[in-house]
Structure 1
Amino acid sequence: MTSRRNFKHQVRARSAKTGESYTSALRHFRAAPSESAPGSVRLAVAQSLVRNDPGDAEALRESGRGVRALMREAAGQGARVVHFPEGAICFPDKRVMSVAGPGAVGPADWERCQWSVLRSELAAIAETARELGLWSVVSSVHRLTGPHRPHNSLYVVSDRGEVVTRYDERLLSKTKVSYMYSPGRAPVTFDVDGVRFGCLLGMEIHYPELFAEYERLDADCVLFSTGGTLGNTAAQAQGHAAVNSYWVSLAVPVQDSAATRSGIVAPNGDWLAQCPAGGSPSVAVVDLDDGSEAAVEAVAYARPWRRAARAGLYAEHQVVDPRSEDRTAAF
């Protein structure tokens, strides 16, 4: 997929070499889309059981065991990367955490969190990632130095069992930013076998500018983890994938799967695979392959064309004409 990220440069280089316009050079590349189809990565998206009390040590351990079981299931199906929903270890409930709760929402009491147990489970997940040779994207609370509130985060654990980066939710809900978390500051990408992934979390499905940002950062796939999803989340995931011509992985808890299921959307907006509705924790596995029919159409054609259009393609075709300038001109 490195060639896809260099697509615009290839078009410009041909234009400079041959003297043809950017549009003509673009047609040459569009005529041979297979040239921009360099590889495949197998991605698994998980639908796991999420618990809401970080003060319950045994619940944290149960979540850790559940995550590791799904990691093994994903690896058994040949996955290279596995992606989990928001709160994979714990999705702290605003009333459970409230100093005024459970009857009222107020500032979260993070002293209730069993931090040592949480760290132990995350360490065990990292060790399992190393054993399986499996990149694992797992959501958890990330503790900051007091008195700062923690981040709501996605840890990216490599196939060596190392945390290589972390994404912190930036556009938080009103309750999260008022009472629970410190917002993050920046987008995060990571590469596996030449495929670039971007990360989003929580309620960020509602902000198309964040998905557009990852298109500009040359993401091939955006991993979006959420908990307590709304009914239109799946449709929004499809829209973001189609508009930006990349894959979108949507990870939700088992508890929400009757309304919205975990799954992976192709760059043309079609679902490639989804977990079952309700029932037991599960994974859905897909090959992110630029040679697929959907990818050829959306990735090799639509995405480069949109980039060319945004780069000023139309300027040379614009005209100055009195009938154009007069907005009230008759038919």
Structure 2
Amino acid sequence: MIKIAAAQSIVTADIAENAETIRRLIEMAADQGARLVNFCEGALSGYAKAQLASPDVWKSFDWRALEAERATIAETCRRRRIFAAIGCAHPLPSPHAPHNSQYIFSETGALIERYDKRYLSHSELNGWFTPGTRPVTFDVDGYRFGCLTCIEVQFPELFMEYERANVDAVLFSSYGIRSFFQIALRAHAGFNCVWISGATPAQTAHEGPAGIIDPNGKVIAHCAAEARNELALATLDRTSADCDRPLNKARPWRRAARSGAIYREKLSQ
């Protein structure tokens, strides 16, 4: 079993303020026994088109301040022995716009992975961000996690890709989880028999709060829509009776069905 947390944090244009919020929520998650906490898109840097008003912001963005605060977050993870996925812009050499990323810190404070959002919106491609190129997985206490961001919820093949990579859960980081996204995430969880942890900023929680969905497509934890700087916590347990059908029956059968093996066997009889 592993307990995880999805954050519903206030995001501002002030990197230091965002970092303080993130550290405080990491402490809260650790106090409640969580081994991993994920944060929304742009949680540390501020989000494009919201706190960051124009792509021109990258010309004067304080990357040194961001790097310094990133180090303080890493130290908090090390001190509290907890993993964290932090939404943040990631710089690239000029003239390229940054990646829209999730930084993955381990319980030792090491930066073990970085997921760069691959499917960007039309506006994001116009000076805001540069797309990433690969899926990312990492393991915590025997459970495997993958990462997706915002409009990637609209691409079922990305969730199916992670199912084939044997992930137990997807960490979904978004600047808002509106009702359509909430429905889609529940469907992806049920179709692929995975847990999904969705993190969102507190400012947009009225559209849909941060929460955690089980492999049946059921919401098992969520923040209140009006909550500020709060966590949704849930325990992932592959041996749970509630998860027996999706994990031990539906998921293997759907893999066989997608490969066509069970149908070829029937036809050959």
Does TM, scored on the shorter chain, surpass 0.5? Answer: yes
| Structure 2 residue 2 is matched with structure 1 residue 41 | yes
Matched, 1:308 2:256: yes
Task: Assess, with a 3 A threshold, how the Cα gap between structure 1 residues 84 and 212 changes in structure 2: closer, same or farther.
Answer: same
**SS where residue 139 of structure 2 aligns?**
strand
Instruction: Give the Cα separation in 2 of the matches to 1:230 and 1:75.
Output: 28
**2:22 is equivalent to residue 67 of structure 1:** yes
Residue 208 of structure 1: aligned partner: 156
Match for 2:143 among 195, 200, 206?
195
Check if 1:164 corresponds to 2:125: no
Alignment partners' CA distance in 2, 1:208 and 1:64: 32
1:95 shift after superposition: 8.9
Paired residue for 2:85?
137
The Cα of 1:294 is off from its aligned counterpart by: 2.4
Higher strand fraction: Structure 1 or Structure 2?
Answer: 2
* Paired amino acid for 2:262: L
Alignment correspondent of 1:227: 175
Q: How many angstroms does 1:149 deviate by? A: 1.1
Contact 1:97 1:110 in 2 (8 A): no
Q: C-alpha offsets along residues 258-315 of structure 1, whole Å, 9 cap, x if unaligned?
A: 1201011000001110011113210111111012222111101100111122232111
How far 1:97 sits from its partner (Å)?
Answer: 4.1
| 1:148-204 Cα deviation digits (max 9, x unpaired) | 111000000000000001000000010001221110000000011111000001211
Match of 1:87 among 42, 48, 71: 42
Checking the alignment, whether the CA contact within 8 Å between 2:2 and 2:35 is kept in structure 1 is: yes
Name the structure 1 match of 2:230: 282
Corresponding residue of 2:11: 50
Unaligned stretches of 5+ residues in structure 2: none
Q: Which deviates further from its counterpart, 227-236 or 261-270?
A: 227-236
Larger radius of gyration: 1
Shift of 1:120: 1.1
Aligned to 1:317: 266
Which residue of 1 is the match for residue 240 of structure 2? 292
The alignment covers a number of residue pairs equal to 267
TM-score (norm 2): 0.95
Residue number in structure 2 paired with 1:249: 197
Query: Out of 266, 290, 302, which is 2:214 matched to?
Result: 266
| Secondary structure of 2:179's aligned partner | coil
* Deviation readout 1:108-153 (Å, 9 max, x if unpaired): 3412211111111111000000000000110101001111111000
Amino acid of the residue matched to residue 147 of structure 1?
Answer: P
SS in 2 for 1:154: strand
Taking only aligned residues, the RMSD between alpha carbons, in angstroms, comes to: 1.6
Q: Indicate the SS of the match to 2:206.
A: coil
Alignment gaps of 5+ in structure 1:
1-39, 54-58, 99-106, 320-331
Q: Shift in Å at residue 316 of structure 1?
A: 2.5
- How far apart, CA to CA, are the structure 1 residues paired with 2:39 and 2:50? 21
**Does 2:25 align with 1:78?**
no
Q: TM-score, normalised by structure 1?
A: 0.78
Shift of 1:92: 2.6
